Structure 1
């Protein structure tokens, strides 16, 4: 049994219509099954006239468009989107060729609460399986890439819940580590997905066979990216773990553009937690209060769990860069930027940020303050159970030692949550080698 088998049924049971995956896959509101089955052949022949006629035939009239609920509207965008990407792949701006599709896409975008074209969710998660699967090329590798993204969607939804819970917890709370552990289990699906992709999809096929279908199109003067796997929103996890206050201007700008391709509830999550205090900053603040050689067990567990989930994110990003470098090498690449709009340099920067935060947390668990060696006069055998912790001495040096011992045993004041404005000083400690 996989994580998908455990999580997917719970997603379907929610009231959110965009999580009704089976219903969206089954829907065919435009009667497109027969026409979309011919798309791979049209693309092999670069048959632009046939693609144009097919798109025009599928565009619903305004009354039909207005009658569609969210589930049917998502399915309609999915099917129209297949022709948008196909036409652009052959050098044709689709809405210039079929202008009557523009108001329909705009209305469908309003009805679904999403951008007025297909996204990675339309192309993968909401795409039917088997004989009804919508594909640009019909090649097995394209199907494998779609499967790789499908297996991630339930984990992303589950991580949204755990990250929301994490945002309301402090590192001294035992639930902090537990919530991070559950988040790590969900994020592991991303690593499994990238490993599956590496095993099944060659860089050559992606770079030359599939990447051209993910080009941006013009919708009423605004560019919208195609449904590439790069749109999978790993930032949902980054945000509360570290990105909210330990990011870079380049990554922030990239996310500001990428967020619009996600689901409405995910955009609300981003708006709610953007600029908040991240888990890494909370842990750093808590550790700064500690003056004893060892961290309290609960705080140490929080540090271990946070380092673990950051390490999983680091692993995914390192493997993703490996694929991207091959697909966008001088020998293969047809485009400078990735299908999600990010250059390789930005992917490298985000990996470095993830690694820096993971290193900071891992080193913090070793201890930021090394234990102090007591003076020889204060080194005494351990007291019997119930005996006093220190013995009064007539000498000034022993009195000072006892005072230091008493000070170390003084109860620790509870740390106050660090506001986002206080995150800047902590960034100075972020880049630990």
Structure 2
């Protein structure tokens, strides 16, 4: 089996996995969970607690489940965890044996003992079976936007893995770069869809509160958030695996536990090893093959991927800044009355970071693009490097 065949097989397996987990209902919750939006709207904490106790699995249930059933169960329990925390109730304080059950499920899912972005989006059923906190169109579109982007991103990541195995002197290198760009364009379409169909005001004043961390045992676990998309794995393979920036390194390591186990394996395999851009530059320097037209096309391919990445990061940064504009403006006014008290707007995303981290990552990736230009363009034939110069000026 060729590397390309392996990548295609893994992509298909993960897509099938998403659909299969979404199809499962191990807690028999399909007819019960649709009431969650009403409970949340009415601040009916007792109703949420009763529903949680009604659907919670037993130890015997969990022991009998496989990986897929366990993840479907975590998905459904997760909507109750997030709902209770939105009303300032720690789930473990009101649901008996929750800590033990969630830790048992974690051993089956290879994920933290709570729901993640995967559970909230690609493992969430479509149509009338879809689980939501609010039932609003904004939330439906938020879920859909991530689902739109997740599978293409995973496909692009597997192709980057394949690219690590292909010599830069091979014509196949540029061909794979082109395929990556096709998939990544769909990732960009996902963020554009969210910008058009999800009210940023509604997100920051309502939806954001369902993604707060919850305590399981003696530690806090992050809620589902867009930051749990494996975008940092894409970065890792392309330009950042050996990045020495402490802030970005801490950022990546914070979210590694919350991504799919296959993405984690990819991340760890390349940790502190050369990324694609550095490998390409080093090969050109050590072998003196800058004038090779195939090598030039390969480097143009890498540059075009970096341009695509920038095309994603700019609107993503804008969306985050607008959603948390109260932080940038230095304001934090109380909103969303909950009976006798108020929630305050969150200063950070559900992953715990402020929008400023996106500017920092964009700065680091731009520095890598500059290095690509610095080491590659001067060594290319004038006619060949013109295309890179044109790309850089756009």
TM, length-normalised to structure 2:
0.86
Deviations 1:114-145 (A, max 9, x none): 11110001011011111111000100010001
Could you tell me which of 312, 321, 346 is aligned with 1:325?
321
The equivalent residue for 1:338 is 349
Deviations, residues 187-245 of structure 1 (Å, cap 9, x unaligned): 22221111111111121011112100000011111111111222111022111111112
Any residues of structure 2 matched to 1:96-175 within 5 Å, and which?
A: 96-175=93-172
Residues in 2 aligned to 1:368 and 1:96: alpha-carbon distance in whole angstroms: 64
5 Å-filtered alignment, 1:1-16, equals: 13-14=12-13
Of residues 62, 66, 73 in structure 2, which corresponds to 1:65?
62
Q: Which of 297, 300, 314 lines up with 2:296 in the alignment?
A: 300
Listed one character per residue, the Cα deviations across residues 286-344 of structure 1 (whole Å, up to 9, x for unaligned) are 3334779x732012111111110011111111111101111111167811221222222
| Stretch deviating more after TM superposition (89-98 or 325-334) | 325-334
Give the whole-Å Cα distance in 2 for the aligned partners of 1:153 and 1:169: 25
CA distance in 2: counterparts of 1:216 and 1:105, whole angstroms? 14
Task: Choose 1 or 2 for highest CA Rg.
Answer: 1
Q: Specify the alignment match of 2:371 in structure 1.
A: 360
Residue 277 of structure 1 is aligned with which of 274, 277, 293? 274
The residue aligned with 1:199 is 196
CA drift of 1:10 comes to 6.4
Tell me the TM-score normalised to structure 1 length: 0.79
Structure 2: 5+ residue stretches without partners: 1-7, 333-343, 383-394
- Secondary structure of the residue aligned to 1:218 is strand
Tell me the distance in 1 between the aligned counterparts of 2:113 and 2:288. 55
Corresponding residue number in structure 2 for 1:375: none
Structure 1 residue matching 2:347: 3-state secondary structure: coil
1:234 aligns with 2:231: yes
In 2: Cα distance, 1:319 partner to 1:210 partner: 20
1:266 and 2:266 aligned:
no
2:33 is matched with: 36
What residue number does 1:377 align with?
A: none
Conservation of the 8 A alpha-carbon contact between 2:121 and 2:146: yes
8 Å Cα contact 1:77/1:117 also seen in 2:
yes
SS of alignment partner, residue 320 of structure 2: helix
Cα distance in 2, alignment partners of residues 203 and 189 from structure 1:
21
- The alpha-carbon deviation at position 153 of structure 1 amounts to 2.4
Q: Which residue of 2 aligns with 1:313?
A: 309
- Give 3-state SS (helix, strand or coil) of 1:34's partner: coil
The Cα RMSD (Å) is 2.2
| Greater mean alpha carbon deviation, residues 280-289 or residues 110-119 | 280-289
Q: Residue in 1 aligned with 2:218?
A: 221
Structure 1 residue runs of 5 or longer lacking an equivalent are 1-8, 372-433
* Separation in 1, partners of 2:269, 2:285: 27
Q: What is the CA–CA distance in structure 1 between the aligned matches of 2:192 and 2:251, rounded to whole Å?
A: 25
Contact 2:291 2:381 in 1 (8 A): no
Q: 1:23 offset after TM fit, Å?
A: 2.0
